[in-house]
Each structure stands twice: as structure tokens, then as C-alpha cells.
A and B are shown apart, each in its own frame.
Chain A
Amino acid sequence: MIAWLLPPLGLLAGLMLGAVTLTPAEALSLLADPVQPLGQLLWQWRLPRVLAAGCVGALLALGGAVFQGVFRNPLAEPYLLGSAGGAAVGATVALLVALPLPQWLALPLLAFCGAWGATWLVLALARLADGTSIAALLLAGVAVAALLGAVRSFLMLALSDETVSLQAVLAWALGGVQTPSWRELAVLAALTAAALGLCLALARGLDLLGLGEAVAESFGLPVRRFVALAVLAGAFVVAVSVVWGGLVGFVGLMAPHLARWTSGPLHRGLLPRAAAIGAGLAMLCDGAARALLPPAEIPLGLVTAAIGAPFFLLVLAREARRG
């Protein structure tokens, strides 16, 4: 139930919060009267921004849910698995290096390649150590994230000019939703819906994988091929979210957990609920990011980290107790 309440709550909070904070009644009456300058502002800027934040949150949650399922690891999430960091390195290259591709194509393409490559690298390193342990995956994630952070920092130092590019890359790294036009929002919403469909198609396989690789094989799941496909799908989902929202950590960790607590572990029910919770969380956090320090904005990634890091520790403690 709470899963379906969060998105409207996040939407309302997102509409109220910003450089000027409104009461719910003011926000709704201004939406009904778009002739007023503030009403125009709500329609032209705040509403598309809030909805875009919702899509980014939903994508991160889907990415997290798929990665947690495929790695059978409750701490897997795009940020910690290196896929978000990989996407950011790809995006940094697209922003700072003159490529023979238009930027609207280079950005998502390189973000996807970065996300996919980094996820595989983490997975391979974890398997080298001990594929089944949480510690192995976490440590591999930490190592790859440190490496990717260093690569990104070097690229920023070496390739940026005095102002524009460096700020753009830094804004990516700290996370922050770009305000789309209504047409761009339609594209993002369509991609989010496609991502949900893609992840739902993986639901049965993820459920089987949860029973163990041998059992999954015995049910006829080609495990290796399925894992490869699921990582590819997860990387695609994360890359779309990074293109629109930069590096936003912990939503992909929190949302699937909250969904699992309310709907159980079966992915057909879990995935849409995780997406709804992710959307609601991101809209709430983005609203806070816009309202806490007007007329400036706090990068969204800082807000989600402030909430997500304690949540991560909570999950880690639970897992440690469980052994």
C-alpha cells in the first residue's frame, strides 16, 4: 500500500518545494491557473522537473532490484556495483572529449558502455575472490568505484577548460535532475516504461535464480546467458538514469528493500513496487534539494547519500546478524 502512496506524495511535495515553497492548496490552485507567472513556472519548470526526478528514481530502483536479484545480494545497487560510476566515466568522456558523434548520441552510448563494462569488471573481480560472499562483491565494488573515481577526476583535471565543462562534469558526479521540456519528458517516460517492461520480462528468471544456480538450471533457466542478459538490461536502465540524473546513490538500494518488505521477494510484484517507491523517494529528495538553500540547489546525490548511507548500514547490520 505504502508503495503506491509514495509517488503521489512525492509529486505533491515536489510541486510544493522549490526556490519558493508553496502550500498544497497554493500549488494546486496555481496549477489550475497557468496564466499567472508562478502558475506558468509550475507548469514549465517545476512539474516536468519533478516528473523527471520520478522517472530517474524509478529507473534507479529497477536497476537496483535487477542487480540485487541477479547477484543474489541485498547490498547490490548501481552506485556500489560501479555501474553508475562507469556510466559517469563514459559521460565524462562524452562531455569533455571531442568525438566524431553528436553529443545526444555520444552521451547515452558511452554512459551505457561505461555502466556495462564496470558492472562486469566488479562481477569478475568478485568471482575471482569468492562469488557468493557479500564481502567479495562489496570490496570489488569499492575497488572499482575508487578506480573509476580516479579516472574521472583525472579526466576532469586534464581535459576541462576553466569553467563550463568542469562544472558540468562535477554536477554529474554529484547528481542532479535536468529539467526536461515536455517532449523530452515524454521520451524519458517512454524509456522508463520500456525499462519496467524489460525488467518484468526478467522477473521469472530472477525468481528462479534466487533459489540457487543449480535449481534454476534444473528448471530450464540457461543461467549464464540469463545473467549476461540481466546485467546488460541493468546497465541499460542505469545508463538512462545517469544520463538524466547524474550519479544518484542509494535510491537503487533503498527502493527494492522497502518494496521487498511490503510485497515479498517475488519479482513480478517487487519490480513495479520498487519503481514506485524509487520514484516517490527521488521526487521527495529532489524537492528537498531544491528547497533547502534557495536560490541555489543542493545536488540531489548529496541528499540521497545523507539518507541512503544510514539505510545501507542498517541493511548491512541485518545481513551480518543473519550471517
Chain B
Amino acid sequence: MTDGLGRRVVLARPPRRIVAIFASNTEMLAAIGALDRVVGVEAYTRFPPEVQGLPLVGGRLGFSAEAIARLEADLVVMTPARNAAHALTEPMSRIGVPTLVVTHRDLPQIFANLRLLGMATGQETVAEALVARLEARLDAVRMRLAGRAPVRVFMETSSTGRGVFGTIRPGSYSFDAVRLAGGESVFPDVSPNGPPLVSGEAILRADPDFYLVAGRPDQAAEVPHRTGFAALSAVRGGRVHVVSRAQFLIPGPRVVDGVENLARLLHGEAA
């Protein structure tokens, strides 16, 4: 197999004890029916509920190669974020534990990752059927929205607390999801490589029709109270909504739930 870093990964036999670093990888393994082989996760993994209580191999302060070794893992699946790939691939290769690094820039890559993990775990058929189902659901949304004009949205993914906000950028699966749900980001030109941040001033200037907060309800409730934000069309029209972080910011199968839910939010019964 070739993983997300372009490395050749050879597995002598299907793995029985898998450590999954990052929530998305655990979710994908669960979706292809390999959750019972997951023996370790990291502290931010909360879904599916069965992972609660599994041994942790890292979290806020990094990841422990020793903890993974102690779990006698025979495959580590990870994503090149929070220094995980850098910190783990080398020690794992020294002790002979194969590592599979998956990348997930856009939606097609998420589907490719499901197939890749299916191949790695011997669950090719299950993974293939899952991807077909997910693609069919997206096609159904696309059909229902055919002919409808896209709605201008701003999706806030984080806040610095200093008047600068994180948002989605082109080339990402979150951006794909918003587009498939019949929306269009008011910032289509945020650089795919630069910081995914926009100033409050730029948001006021763009004046989106829908203001989506990928976060908690109290974060959305705060939006109209920010300086100047009461003048936004979305605020005046009562179109500030919370969307699920899990459905838009975790690159797993739940992104398709996010597309369906957001399509209903933006286009009502038609979607």
C-alpha cells in the first residue's frame, strides 16, 4: 500500500491490535467494522462511545511511542498533525510496527482513506460498500438541490478572542461539504496554504446570508453581541446557526451527515 506521505507500507498479515491516533482515524476504522481491533486511542477521541475507557497513547502533551509499544500494537494509523507523524513513524519503524499515515485534504481523499484502511485491515468489501452508500447519499443531496442558487455563508471554526476568526478554505473537505450542501463560502479566496483566518472587518464587509458557528451554542449566542456584528444580514434575519464540529471538522464518514443537515438548514424542505 502507499500511504498519505507516499510511503510504501507492507503488512505481513491483517493487523489485530491497532492504535488510532486522532478522532477521524478511529471513526473510519469503526465505520469499516474494525473497531474491535482498536486497542489504543488519544485523549481527544470521543466517538464512537465504545472507545471510552480504551488505553490512551497521548493527548495534550504529545504521543508516547512507549505506550504504543506496551499495547503490543501491530499497526498505528495516524494523520500528519500535532507532530504525530514526525514523533511516531521513526520509533515505530525501529521496533518493527508498521505505521499508516493518512492525509485528508478534500472529500475524495476521505473516501480514499476509507478504502485504504479497508485494504489495510482486510475489510475491503465493507469499506467499498460504505463508500458507495456515502456517495449515493451525496448524489441524492445534489439531485434535490439541482437548480437552486447557492447560499452565501460564513463558517466560523474558531476565534482568537481578538477579533480574528478561523474559517474553512478552498481545497478542504469542510469547504467541499459546504458547497455540496448548497452553500458557498463568502471567502472563496482564502489561501489554501496561508492561515485560515479572517478579520472581523472582512466578515462585516462580506455580509454573509448565513452565519454558521462550528462549535457550542453559547459561542453562536455571542455572535450578535460582538462589536458591529448586529448589523450583519445573517444576524438581523436570525440566521446565525450552530453546526456540529464533528460533522464538519473531523474528516470521517460523519461529514456526509453534515452535508445533509446543512442542506436542510440552508434550503429547508427542498433539501
A: residues with CB less than 8 A from B are 18-20, 37-38, 40-41, 44-46, 48-49, 95, 157-158, 160, 162-164, 167-168, 170-172, 176-181, 184, 246, 290, 293-297
Q: Are A295 and B199 in contact (CB under 8 A)?
A: yes
Chain A residue at smallest Cβ distance from B202: A295
Write the nearest CB–CB distance from A59 to chain B, whole angstroms. 17
Q: Cα distance A40–B207 when bound, in Å?
A: 12
Q: Decide if B161 touches A295 in the complex (CB within 8 Å).
A: no
Given contacts A164-B158, A176-B164, contact A296 B195 (CB under 8 A): yes
Closest A residue to B23 by beta carbon equals A162
Kindly provide the distance from the CB of A158 to the nearest chain B CB, expressed in whole angstroms.
6
Taking the complex as formed, is B67 at the interface, i.e. its CB lies under 8 A from any CB of chain A?
no
23 CB < 8 A contacts A-B: A18-B201, A19-B202, A40-B231, A41-B201, A44-B204, A44-B231, A45-B204, A45-B227, A46-B201, A48-B227, A49-B163, A167-B159, A168-B162, A171-B160, A171-B162, A172-B161, A176-B163, A178-B162, A294-B199, A295-B202, A296-B190, A297-B163, A297-B197
Closest to A160 in B: B60
Instruction: From A48, A49, A167, A297, give the contact of B166 (CB < 8 A).
Output: A167
Known: A163-B158, A295-B187, A296-B198. Contact between A41 and B163, CB under 8 A?
Answer: no
CA distance A172 to B162 in the complex (A): 8
Q: Are A41 and B205 in contact, CB atoms less than 8 angstroms apart?
A: yes
> Which partner residue on chain B sits nearest A40 by CB separation?
B231
B270, CB-defined interface residue at 8 Å? no
Complexed CA–CA distance, A38 and B231 (Å): 11
Which residues of B51-77 are within 8 A (CB) of A? 60-61
Q: List the A side residues contacting B158 at CB < 8 Å.
A: 163-164, 167
Q: How far is the CA of A295 from the CA of B194 in the complex (A)?
A: 11
Question: A-contacting residues of B (Cβ < 8 Å)?
Answer: 44, 60-61, 157-164, 166, 187, 190, 194-195, 197-202, 204-207, 215, 219, 227-228, 231
10 more contacts with CB within 8 A, not counting A49-B163, A158-B60, A163-B158, are A37-B231, A40-B231, A48-B227, A160-B60, A163-B166, A164-B158, A179-B200, A290-B201, A295-B199, A295-B206
On whether the beta carbons of B231 and A181 are closer than 8 Å, the reply is no
Residue of A nearest to B215 (CB): A164
A107 to chain B, nearest CB (A): 10
Partner of B162, one of A38, A162, A246: A246
Q: Note all chain A residues with C-beta closer than 8 A to B206.
A: 295
Residues from chain B with Cβ under 8 Å of A19 in the complex: 199, 201-202, 205
Residues in A whose Cβ lies below 8 Å from that of B197: 296-297
* Closest chain B residue to A48, Cβ basis: B227
The minimal Cβ–Cβ distance linking B266 to chain A, given in whole angstroms, is: 22
Chain B CB count within 10 A is highest, among A19, A20, A38, A295, for A295
Given A157-B60, A171-B161 in contact, is the A20-B205 Cβ separation under 8 Å? yes
> Considering only CB atoms, which chain B residue lies closest to A181 in the complex?
B227
Alpha-carbon gap, A180 to B225, bound state (A)? 11
Q: Are B231 and A177 in contact (CB under 8 A)?
A: no
Residues of A within 8 Å of B44, CB to CB, are 162
A98 to chain B, nearest CB (A): 15
Please name all residues of chain A whose beta carbon is closer than 8 Å to the beta carbon of B161 when the two chains form the complex.
95, 164, 167-168, 171-172, 178
A179 engages B160 (CB within 8 Å): no
Which B residues lie within 8 Å of A290 (CB)? Answer: 199, 201
B202→A170 contact, CB < 8 A = no
For residue A178, which residues in chain B have a CB less than 8 angstroms away from its CB? 161-163
Instruction: Pick from A44, A178, A181, A296 the residue with the most CB of B within 10 Å.
Output: A296
Contact A164 B162 (CB under 8 A): no
